[in-house]
Structure 1
């Protein structure tokens, strides 16, 4: 993988791990509001359904040149449409079957930066989003069991700027994270 104009040039022709690059953490400095065309949507759908297809395989399935697929991928990455080629990992398969959502209130006037740094050090905190309404952040967290969930919550509350946490445990996932319908609806 080479670096060019602040963007990683991604080639999907190998499954060899790429050290030092993460599309998820790559700064995106140019976002395009260019609408997706039919080929973009077909390519994104194909990658979602078969992440191992590679550029050559995608060109064969889509009936377009390999260079066209690579150029589309480069543009979709540069514009921020594709954030990552990382595998989708199931926390339950790693021994974390409990999923919970936690609303966190932060002491006013201190900002989010310190709390977010604290939360980033907790491996079981998978996501954190600034929210409106009751609370300041909502977290998606995982745990090995309810006792472990209590340990994770205690660790979250260990930051002096966190004043309160309200947690709900997910009993079942009814709709998994998905973007396919959104891609189909995008214009």
Structure 2
């Protein structure tokens, strides 16, 4: 990935609906060059897809929680990971270091829905002896934009 690719990625993260001409003007490339670079970045997996940023409250899932989950033994992980992949309320799942096995980012309609997910889906899995949840009261920053470094003057 060169500096033009980084500039394109930086620009489209903030301006996802921009056309090729607008992207080209912002980064100093022609429309055809932008088109080719975007195709290349998608083929390489640097751009994993395109989506809209939706307000969670407007979509009916205003409750945000982070859930730490302990898995007792490795043989219990496949069932847990299958649940994670199939459960739309689980937005992210990270295998982490420390006292817990996984960290989940969860969005729910309300506390009852969160409790249902935890008590009836996650904690009933074999090998999940405990979890710890942190419910978010408010967010000072919530950004999907990655800090793509572009060297000064590039």
Structure 2: distance between partners of 1:186 and 1:148 = 46
CA gap 1:186/1:61 in 2 versus in 1, 3 angstroms: closer
User: How many Å apart are 1:152 and its aligned residue?
Assistant: 1.6
Q: Which residue of 1 aligns with 2:113?
A: 148
Root-mean-square deviation (CA, aligned residues, Å) is: 2.2
Q: Which residue of 2 aligns with 1:91?
A: 56
- Unaligned 5+ residue runs, structure 1? 1-33
- 1:179 matched to 2:145? The reply is yes
Q: Which residue of 1 aligns with 2:87?
A: 122
CA gap 1:157/1:111 in 2 versus in 1, 3 angstroms: closer
- 1:168 matched to 2:143? The reply is no
8 Å CA contact retained: 1:102, 1:166? yes
TM-score between the two structures when normalised by the length of structure 2: 0.85
CA gap 1:186/1:153 in 2 versus in 1, 3 angstroms: farther
Query: Structure 1: which 4+ aligned runs deviate by more than 6 Å?
Result: none
Greater relative contact order: 1 or 2 (C-alpha under 8 angstroms, separation 6 or more)?
Answer: 2
Q: Give the secondary structure class of the aligned counterpart of 1:184.
A: coil
Q: Give the secondary structure class of the aligned counterpart of 1:118.
A: helix
Question: Superposition pairs for residues 27-176 of structure 1, below 5 Å?
Answer: 34=1, 36-37=2-3, 39-154=4-119, 155-176=121-142
Structure 1: distance between partners of 2:55 and 2:46 = 23
User: How many Å apart are 1:169 and its aligned residue?
Assistant: 0.7
- Unaligned 5+ residue runs, structure 2? none
Structure 2: distance between partners of 1:186 and 1:127 = 31
CA gap 1:40/1:133 in 2 versus in 1, 3 angstroms: same
Question: 1:121-174, CA deviations, whole angstroms, 9 ceiling, x for partnerless residues?
Answer: 222111111111111111001112222221121122121232211111111112
Aligned residues: 151
Q: Give the secondary structure class of the aligned counterpart of 2:67.
A: strand
Q: Which residue of 2 aligns with 1:18?
A: none
